Amino acid sequence: MEKRLLLDLARKMRRAPTKWEDIFWQAVRNRKLCGVKFRRQQVIHHFIVDFFVPSHRLVVEIDGKSHLDRVEYDNAREIFLEACGFRVLRFTNEEIEQDLYGVLDAVKRHLSAVTPHL
């Protein structure tokens, strides 16, 4: 997909987040988690990722039911992103809804492992 189209699509996705993306966003926006900057619906190469922490090359994906039919695609996408030097953490909608603090703790552990002083 052309870069301009991806950027337009990402902008539209930021305006209409899923319930679970919004829950996660409210918890991490404005450097609330470990003082790091999260971006949402960020274009990386030819993909749009849910959340991205540029300083730590971290991608956070929130997977809903639609991802059950896209396992191969998601795996290939994750392999590509990791080959480019990004770390991908995946969480389900259910994890966000039922254990947000556990999800945030997992993200925090990763951020701390990359930057021990956090």
pLDDT at site 33: 96
The CATH number of whichever domain residue 84 belongs to comes to: 3.40.960.10
Q: Bridge partners of 52?
A: 39, 59
The tens digit of pLDDT for each residue in 46-58 reads: 899 999 999 999 9
pLDDT at position 98 is 97
Residue 1 pLDDT:
61
* Rounded Cα–Cα distance for residues 19 and 4 (Å): 26
Burial classification of residue 31, based on how many CB atoms lie within 10 Å of its CB (0-12 exposed, 13-18 middle, 19 or more buried): exposed
Quick: pLDDT tens for 70-101: 788 888 899 999 999 999 999 999 999 999 99
The dihedral built from the CA positions of residue 71, 106, 103 and 42, taken in this order, carries a sign that is negative
Give the count of domains, the chain. 1
Domain that holds residue 79: 3-114
Instruction: Give residues with Cβ within 8 angstroms of 102, minimum separation 6.
Output: 95
